[in-house]
Structure 1
Amino acid sequence: MRARGPRTSVSTDVARRLRRDMTPEERLLWSRLRSAGLGVSFRRQEVIGPYVVDFVCYPAQLIVELDGSQHAGSESDQVRDAKLIADGFTVLRF
């Protein structure tokens, strides 16, 4: 398994808040991912380096991001995706 990178109290606190305050869409997808019997496990609102990703499956090196309109064409998302891809992840954005 790949190292997740250093966790900071700020990113851990943000991840905890995001897990507590998930959007309805995130809740729906999480209910499907955790009970789908996919043969792999996902984590939600996981800290990877300086980022908090919506859902990650470490064995498959897959990150799933659910983006609202605030993310449309965001340059910071492109930089973030490039870094995560360079770290060996596949990033799916919906």
Structure 2
Amino acid sequence: MPSHLHNIPALKENRRKLRSNLTPAEAALWKILQRSQLDGRKFRRQHSVGPYILDFYCPSEMLAIELDGAHHFTDAGTENDQERTSFLENLNIKVLRFENKEVFEQTEGVLEEIRRNFKKQM
């Protein structure tokens, strides 16, 4: 994948703001994903690919994790998510989506789904 699509400078300030203002669900999942705690996989938070800033991205697995709040369940939100997913899948990035409440109510299920999408065993 072309490296010029990752963390383009024009989005740097926006990425920084998002990292400083994680949603409660993002903060909870980040505590589990940071420092390669999940099966040794390194995740980045608020990593951009092209024009999109991903909630979490695992470069070695080419795996994006998006946490969806209420605005994602509107017609416009659904359409934007479909465009984002298509863009990323065209770059061979797998996208997993979870509702914010799943992070709190079904944490182990969320982690198991993430693990199921790891291509490589470490």
TM-score by length of 1: 0.90
Instruction: Say if 2:41 is the partner of 1:40.
Output: yes
Contact 1:4–1:47 under 8 Å retained in 2: no
Instruction: Say if 2:25 is the partner of 1:25.
Output: yes
The alignment covers a number of residue pairs equal to 93
Query: Which aligned segments of 4 or more residues in structure 1 are displaced greater than 6 angstroms?
Result: none
Higher helix fraction: Structure 1 or Structure 2? 2
Separation in 2, partners of 1:37, 1:85: 23
| Distance apart, 1:38 and its partner CA | 1.6
Separation in 2, partners of 1:45, 1:30: 11
Letter in 1 for 2:60: P
Residue among 69, 74, 80 paired with 1:76: 80
Contact 1:2–1:58 under 8 Å retained in 2: no
Separation in 2, partners of 1:4, 1:22: 25
Separation in 1, partners of 2:29, 2:38: 14
Instruction: Say if 2:94 is the partner of 1:90.
Output: yes
Letter in 1 for 2:96: L
Separation in 2, partners of 1:45, 1:82: 19
Runs of 5+ consecutive residues of structure 1 not aligned to the other structure: none
Separation in 1, partners of 2:39, 2:15: 24
1:13–1:31 Cα change, 3 Å:
same
1:40–1:59 Cα change, 3 Å:
same
Contact 1:56–1:64 under 8 Å retained in 2: yes
> Larger Rg: 1 or 2?
2
Separation in 2, partners of 1:4, 1:60: 19
